[in-house]
Amino acid sequence: MIVALGVTGCIAAYKAVEVLRGLQKRGASVRVVMTRHATEFVGPLTFQSISGFPVIAEMFAPTDDPEIKHIQVAQSIDLLLVAPATANTLAKFANGIADDFLSTLYISTTAPVLVAPAMNVEMWAHPATRENVRRLRERGVQFIDPEEGYLACRTVGPGRLAEPHEIVGRACEIIGLTAAANSNDVVALTQDLRGERVLITAGPTQEAIDPVRFLSNRSSGKMGFAVAEAALARGAAVTLIAGPVSIASPKGARTISVRSAAEMYEAVKVNLDDATMVVMAAAVADYRPASVHQQKIKKNGSALVLDLEPTDDILAAVARESGSRVVIGFAAETENVIENARKKLKRKGADLIVANDVSASDSGFDVDHNRIALVSSEGVVELPLLSKQEAAASIIDAAMKIRSARPLSVA
């Protein structure tokens, strides 16, 4: 789940850091948007360091991203949360004034909006503010009203920002994250995968040339492991078949380690009958040496020629036996990404192909972000640059959409 956290120019802006932390502990990914005046109270670097994403503080800041930024953010978020929200911000929202990134984001998104006002007692009580609040409530904007207390202006009364844990709890209710009994726990998303048995492949394979050499690729397994974590968090039983990787297996997953494409194929066949959903995220070698040398090949100054043969097509084999299972494949591409993914979808017989553009340095293999497109018979959904966790959530969402259209009948 992605939350846009709007921070406005108020002394309570420092409490937004706690809100950010609280959302992260509950599994949300947070994008911070600051007004110009907010940066006078808390530096953007603070929010960037904690969130792990650049802070948006200018409407027309130069960027290498060709997308229209406020539209990109507006379409990708599950909630716009503004905490603290000043009287000025409420007035802009109520009157459709869009003169900075946050106010433009507000009128661009169809996501739910939650605001937590903070201001002077008289400002909160002023008829103009009361009218703006009324109008926003009528439009569906949700509020966490300010609390009474001693304010920065040395007055006492309603106007103090609600406690961060209350703001976080309300935000979690809206987007389907449940509050933890222990506030320090990271908790799961709604359990919409309960009853599903998800079989996932991840990582590379290694195809032996001789006892010390092999053919492989740059896959780290991060994407497949992220899908496993997302499925576990949403209640699924997960079997993870992983090639040689250097990352820890997700807690709660039944993990089977393999090395070659042949070993991965055998492990998939053994575990397929029990699966209701299959996600083939592994980067399986397409070819392997036709024969493996029993001793190390010595360098003798001459060219070495390897005779390669194709490996078994695991995805196509799974799709042929799919029944009511949801079958998802991946396509790592460096050119003609969508076109090649469409061809793979038809050729393999999968329900969905996750087209993964691995041509850029900021996405793809062995990095923490992916730029993917979800390709199915229903069409193509192109997603912006996402963390692998966000991409995994989108993949699971797409899988559940397919699942909802067919019965769960696998024994």
| Residues with a known catalytic role | 153
Q: Report d(CA 175, CA 79) in Å as an integer.
A: 7
Q: Cis before residue 164, ω within 30 degrees of 0?
A: no
Strands (E), 284-398: 287-289, 308-310, 326-333, 352-357, 369-370, 372-376, 379-382, 386-387
The single-letter DSSP state of residue 165 is H
Q: Note whether 323 and 409 are within 8 A (CB).
A: yes
Strand 147-150 relative to strand 156-160: parallel, antiparallel, unpaired?
Answer: antiparallel
Q: Note whether 175 and 214 are within 8 A (CB).
A: no
3-state secondary structure of 166: helix
Neighbours of 95 (CB within 10 A): 11
Q: Report d(CA 245, CA 252) in Å as an integer.
A: 18
Q: Note whether 238 and 254 are within 8 A (CB).
A: yes
Strand 113-117 relative to strand 79-85: parallel, antiparallel, unpaired?
Answer: parallel
Rounded to a whole number of angstroms, the distance between the first and last alpha carbons of the chain is 31
User: SS3 string of 288-305?
Assistant: EECCCCCCCCCCCCCCCC
Both tokens of residue 306?
Answer: 């390897």
Q: Report d(CA 69, CA 131) in Å as an integer.
A: 31
Q: Note whether 116 and 161 are within 8 A (CB).
A: yes
What are residue 142's DSSP bridge partners? 114
